[in-house]
């Protein structure tokens, strides 16, 4: 089991200076953005990025994908954060959710219906999409750029902005601690990368925090894979 508390620097250790770099990315992105938004799963990096964005744009739309499969703790924490942080929360949900689709068909089919479809439809209304992706998270994100063009299935091009791309897990937790941000209680149980309950487990590889996702069968749900 990975102890997420071990990612928090010891008291008195310097807080990483990554925040100013992230703020610079955010400032440049806002300068050119007409309709920005952020997607949030309410994991630690999402909470940190939302905090940074709200410094400049308190009313930025926060898009949450209600897959109908989240942990009860995630729903409760999401509601608490929406109240305490005064989030402009927009909940996205499939027109016809199918609970248990992951078991009847496949995790790919479930992700496509409950995550990819609703999100890409919603992103048609925005030109700038902030994400809390980080290069350290997985091999599929190793070449992530802070600013990238992103093509939606309709062919519309938007910008995907990842201000935390270079951050480590310790950077994320240090920022959260320094700013008194409460984090999802599931971390206390040993979870390190948290998605839908049926497809999330405590990681089996202590060196890979995302090894608890989808039983290690895939790296991405599909929302960060752009159309060709």
Cα-based distances in Å from 91 to 79, 119, 122: 11, 10, 10
What's the domain range around 16?
Answer: 4-216
- For residue 227, being part of any structural domain is answered with no
Write down the mean pLDDT value for the chain.
85
- For residue 199, being part of any structural domain is answered with yes
**CB contact at 8 A, 202 and 191:** yes
- For residue 182, being part of any structural domain is answered with yes
- Which pLDDT value is given to residue 206? 67
**Burial class of residue 38, CB neighbours in 10 A (0-12, 13-18, 19+):** buried
- For residue 169, being part of any structural domain is answered with yes
- Which pLDDT value is given to residue 14? 40
| Six-digit token string for 72 | 């009860």
Task: Band the pLDDT of 143: cuts 50, 70, 90.
Answer: confident
- For residue 221, being part of any structural domain is answered with no
| Six-digit token string for 70 | 């989240």
Question: Tens of pLDDT along 10-54?
Answer: 444 445 578 899 999 999 999 999 999 999 999 999 999 999 999
The CATH number of whichever domain residue 108 belongs to comes to 3.40.50.620
- For residue 13, being part of any structural domain is answered with yes
Mean pLDDT of 130-153: 87
- For residue 103, being part of any structural domain is answered with yes
Percent of the chain with pLDDT over 90: 57
- Which pLDDT value is given to residue 2? 46
- Which pLDDT value is given to residue 217? 65
Number of domains the chain is built from = 1
Active site residues: 221
Alpha-carbon gap, residue 202 to 220, rounded angstroms: 17
- Interacting residues of 70 by C-beta distance below 8 A, sequence separation 6+: 196, 197
Kindly tell me if the per-residue pLDDT of 218 is higher than 60. no
Alpha-carbon gap, residue 164 to 51, rounded angstroms: 12
- For residue 108, being part of any structural domain is answered with yes
């Amino acid at each position: 089991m990975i102890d997420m508390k071990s990612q928090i620097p010891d008291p008195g250790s310097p807080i990483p200076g990554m925040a100013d770099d992230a703020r610079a990315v955010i400032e440049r992105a806002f300068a050119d953005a007409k309709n920005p938004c952020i997607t949030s799963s309410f994991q630690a990096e999402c909470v940190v990025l939302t905090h940074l964005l709200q410094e400049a744009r308190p009313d930025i739309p926060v898009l949450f994908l209600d897959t109908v499969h989240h942990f009860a703790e995630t729903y409760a924490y999401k509601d608490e954060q929406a109240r305490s942080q005064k989030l402009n929360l927009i909940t996205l949900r499939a027109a016809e959710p199918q609970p248990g689709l992951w078991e009847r068909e496949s995790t790919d089919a479930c992700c496509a219906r409950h995550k990819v479809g609703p999100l890409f439809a919603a992103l048609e209304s925005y030109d700038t999409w902030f994400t809390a992706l980080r290069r350290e998270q997985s091999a599929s994100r190793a070449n992530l750029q802070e600013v990238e063009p992103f093509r939606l299935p309709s062919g519309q091009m938007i910008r995907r902005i990842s201000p935390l791309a270079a951050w480590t897990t310790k950077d994320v937790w240090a920022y959260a601690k320094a700013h008194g941000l409460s984090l999802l209680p599931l971390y206390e149980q040993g979870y390190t990368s948290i998605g839908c309950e049926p497809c999330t487990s405590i990681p089996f590889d202590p060196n890979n925090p995302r090894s608890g996702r989808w039983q290690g069968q895939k790296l991405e749900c599909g929302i960060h894979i752009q159309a060709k």
